[in-house]
Structure 1
Amino acid sequence: MIDFSDSDSIKTLSESVGQTWPAIEQLQQESRSQLAKLRQAVASTKPPSNTATVVFGSLAREEWTRSSDTDWTFLIDGPSDIEHFRATENIRVAMAKIGIKDPGATQTFGTMCSSHPLVHHIGGIEDSNQNMTRRLLLLLESVALDSSITQERVVRAILERYIFGDPPASNPKTLRVPLFLLNDIVRMWRTLTVDYAAKKWQRGEKGWAIRNVKLRMSRKLLFVKGLLVCFACHPSLADNSKSYDTIDVINQELMNRCYALCQLPALSILASALHYLDKKPLAIQIMDAYDRFLSTLKDEEKRKHLEELSLDNSNDSVFEEQRQISRDFRDGLIAFFFDSDERITQLVKRYGVF
């Protein structure tokens, strides 16, 4: 069984393989420091009950840099109240005072968000890209700045919809891969890739290179986390010595497992899996590539260069370097999922492909 309980799994893996990843380590510490500042700023606004201010993206992944956006939402899990609008504005002002710029123009973040569509509009015509993005990022890549109770309640409600909504299991006595959840995670990844193409069409050259690099690295890492969260529920990777009496008991166990895994940063989950497999060259290849990627993002000159790069200069040396890093990362992940462990390979073939 893969042990995901190590809260410092990246350090554990680093010591195991005898390799250091300075950019990963530095940005972990800076992310935690920035979260502390944000928590203090939000606390000063005294938000209403049954709400939570939640941040996503690089802060939740613990790879925030000074140039990173701060994507956040004011999550409401209760009756509508006119104070919710005022609270959202107060939070925006408080963040601006400590130098936090507004999120992007899509209005997916930096606004109020009700729990109702997140829980009840999964699939179908009411499940917009915006709603799906908020829901799955809330599961896989979010941190509460104030009321973790509200965030936990909503996350558990979403997981309940996914897990209790699965078709009947062929073996009702054992754990299983949560297929409803897995399929939505696959949909999210494919949607991210399609949306990249859409933004490239709509926005022209603006920011195409930095979005391309992030899609190949941090967005792909999010997908990897989603796969591992679901695969970790399968008896071959979980503790399969237990036998459960009822499907409801199994579903509750699956919810608890998925919730615990969802709270961990994506790179920490991947590091735990790599440590478990004990394949040092593979672990070094994957983690080295991600460390080099983060090293570029925290280099303000290189980051600005990628943000302003024109399509005519797509053979630019900085972008080519990132492209090679992304290939190393991709090839390492392919080896991890298809060649490192027969159990993982079979799970990918059975649930990830067909």
Structure 2
Amino acid sequence: MPYIETAKQNSVKKVEELRRVLKNDDTTFTIVVGGSLARGEASDESDIDYFFFGDDEASVERAKDFLRSKEIEIAAIVGKAPSADGAFGSAACETRQALITDIGGNNDDNAKITRRILFLLEGSWLTSPDTFKRYRRAVLSRYVSEHVEPHHLTRFLLNDVIRYYRTICVDFEFKTVEKNKEWGLRYIKLRYSRQFLYFSGIVAIAQTVGLSPLAKVERLIELFDLTPIERVRTICGTSADEALRLYDNFLQKISSGATRTELNTVGQDRQTHTEDFKDLQSKGRLFTAELSKILDGTYGPQHPIHKALVF
């Protein structure tokens, strides 16, 4: 699958360059890359999406200052400067304690749940790998209580992954209808990369059945260290081949700047639908059907993941 492999090589190269530029000795914070770079799916059209966590507020402030000092070097690697409203805004950072508290509470807004779940499902370290691993273990230990029985799923985590996915689906409607954001490219990404990331989280959580609470955490750490594509391949084997072939086609299409520009002209009105959009939309339906087939084939009808996704 040539475009999956090309995207992986491109992503690895850029992440390695970012790690070199951002290397420092401060282990009280970690800078985390997300998005297509972290998933191993980046093309030359991809930008950088990152956030950061610190041991305390002072650590967070040091991370902000450090990133500001590296802005030009980062832009030279990824092709554009990081957004001042993203990486340097308050919504893109928090302390370790804030990361694991108030989950589901009044302050657990869209930005916070997105940051937390993406940290688990696709995040990759740019600085302080040991700190990154420490924070990820802390989050997973918060989700997996010591009282969870071996035959149970990690339901707390599963419910939050489901909540995240449904949140971005609803958020898509809000952004494109009420905020008048571009519709076409967002729609295609929702049908492919967002859905696939969600699926990779579901199958990882399904793997925790039959394990002790500690073993559940260790298994999740092991699986979340993989990219979503690697994760699904590891768990589902060759049964994922057709879905990945369709995903390879998606990556090929959105690696083209011209196709991205074209998709951004597409709206809900069918008269605006281009041939590329209609092809991706049609294959997107097949992609969803394949993911459903893989889930059924990997886990028998008695596996608790099926009921848990409904109730």
Once residues 303 and 248 of structure 2 are traced to their aligned partners in structure 1, the CA distance between those partners, rounded to angstroms, is 29
Shift of 1:104: 5.8
Change over 3 Å in CA distance of 1:78–1:342 after alignment to 2: closer
Counterpart of 1:326 in structure 2 is 284
Deviations 1:16-40 (A, max 9, x none): xxxxx11101111111111111112
Partner of 1:130: 111
Task: Name 1:80's counterpart in structure 2.
Answer: 58
Answer whether contact 1:175 1:254 (CA < 8 A) is retained: no
The reply to whether residue 274 of structure 1 matches residue 253 of structure 2 is: no
2:45 pairs with one of 53, 62, 67: 67
**Greater Cα offset, 67-76 or 93-102:** 93-102
2:195 — aligned with what? 220
CA 341–154 in structure 1, closer or farther in 2 if over 3 Å, else same:
closer
Query: Where does residue 295 of structure 2 map in the other structure?
Result: 337
TM-score normalised over the length of structure 1: 0.80
Unmatched tracts of structure 2, length 5 or more: none
Distance 1:320 1:122 in 2: 39
Under a length normalisation based on structure 2, what TM-score does the superposition of the two structures give? Answer: 0.90
Structure 2 residue corresponding to 1:176, chosen from 140, 152, 168: 152
CA distance in 1 between partners of 2:204 and 2:138 (Å):
17
2:248 alignment partner in structure 1: 291
CA drift at 1:89: 1.1
| Residues 1:99 and 1:56: Cα distance change in structure 2 (over 3 Å) | closer
Match of 2:12 in 1: 32
Is the 1:84–1:112 Cα contact (8 Å) retained in structure 2? no
Query: Which whole-Å CA distance do the structure 2 matches of 1:294 and 1:344 have between them?
Result: 32
For residue 344 of structure 1, report the CA deviation from its aligned partner: 6.1
Give 1:181 shift.
0.5
Secondary structure of 1:343 counterpart: coil
Q: CA deviation at 1:99?
A: 4.5
- Aligned ranges for residues 188-207 of structure 1 at < 5 Å? 188-204=164-180, 206-207=181-182
> d(CA) in 2 for partners of 1:104 and 1:335?
39
| Identical pairs, percent | 28
| Number of residue pairs matched by the alignment | 307
Q: Given that residues 55 and 144 in structure 1 are in contact (C-alpha distance below 8 angstroms), is that contact kept between their aligned partners in structure 2?
A: yes
In structure 2, what residue type is equivalent to 1:48?
A: D
Give the deviation of 1:301 after TM superposition: 1.5
Q: Distance in 2 between matches of 1:336 and 1:63?
A: 21
User: Does structure 1 residue 92 correspond to structure 2 residue 68?
Assistant: no
Give the conservation status (yes or no) of the 8 Å contact 1:117–1:131.
no
Alpha-carbon RMSD across the aligned residues, in angstroms, is 2.2
Contact 1:119 1:158 in 2 (8 A): yes
TM-aligned CA distance change 1:311 to 1:292, over 3 Å: same
**What is the one-letter code of the residue matched to 2:3?**
A
Residues 120/344 of structure 1: CA separation in 2 closer, same or farther (3 Å cut): farther
Please tell me the residue identity of whatever aligns with 1:161. Answer: R
| Whole-Å separation in 2 of the counterparts to 1:214 and 1:198 | 16
Q: Give the distance between the partners of 2:107 and 2:50, measured in 1 at CA.
A: 22
The residue aligned with 2:26 is 48
SS at match of 1:74: strand
Structure 1 pair 75–323 and aligned structure 2 pair: CA distance change class (3 A): same
- The code of the aligned residue for 1:208 comes to W
Alpha-carbon offset, residue 70 of structure 1: 0.8
Query: Helix, strand or coil for the counterpart of 1:164?
Result: coil
CA spacing shift, 1:293–1:344, aligned 2, 3 Å: farther
Per-residue CA distance 1:211-233 (angstroms, 9 max, x = gap): 10000000001111111111001
State the 1:310 CA deviation.
Answer: 4.4
Task: Return the alpha-carbon distance in structure 2 between the equivalents of residues 24 and 228 of structure 1.
Answer: 20
Q: CA deviation at 1:263?
A: 0.9
CA shift at 1:255, angstroms? Answer: 1.1
Q: Hey, what does 2:266 align to over in structure 1?
A: 309
Pairwise CA distance, 1:62:
0.4
Task: Provide the secondary structure at the position in 2 that maps to 1:126.
Answer: coil
Matched residues in 2 for 1:99 and 1:350: separation?
A: 42
SS in 1 for 2:33: strand
